[in-house]
Structure 1
Amino acid sequence: MDFRLKIRAFEYGSKIPSKYTCEGEDVSPPIAWEDPPEGTESFVLIVDDPDAPSGTFTHWILWDIPKDKRFLEEGTQEGTPGRNDFGKIGYGGPCPPRGHGPHRYFFKLYAIDTPSLNLKKGSSRSNLEKAMKDHIIREAEYMGIYER
Structure 2
Amino acid sequence: MTTFTLSSPDIASGGTVPQHFEFDGFGCSGRNESPVLQWSGAPEGTQSFAVTVYDPDAPTGSGWWHWFVVDVPATTTALAPNAGAQGSAGLPAGARQIRNDYGSFAWGGVCPPPGDKPHRYIFTVHALGVPKLEIPDDATAALAGFMVNAHTLAKASFTATYGRP
Structure 1 length-normalised TM: 0.95
Report the aligned-residue RMSD: 1.1
**CA distance in 2 between partners of 1:130 and 1:143 (Å):** 21
1:98-139 Cα offsets, whole Å, 9 max, x none, are 001200000111000010003233421111123233311001
1:49-78 Cα offsets, whole Å, 9 max, x none, are 011112311111100000000010011131
CA contact (8 A) 1:7 1:142 kept: no
Flag as ranges the 4+ runs of structure 1 deviating above 4 A: none
**CA distance in 2 between partners of 1:16 and 1:2 (Å):** 25
Write the letter of the residue equivalent to 1:129: G
CA contact (8 A) 1:15 1:145 kept: yes
Match of 1:75 in 2: 82
Match of 1:15 in 2: 16
CA contact (8 A) 2:11 2:35 kept: no
Match of 2:110 in 1: 94
CA contact (8 A) 1:40 1:111 kept: yes
**Structure 2 unmatched ranges of 5 or more:** 24-28
Kindly indicate whether residue 155 of structure 2 is the aligned counterpart of residue 139 of structure 1.
yes
Q: Percent identity?
A: 32
Bigger Cα displacement from structure 2, 123-132 vs 35-44: 123-132
Give the superposition deviation at 1:19: 1.1
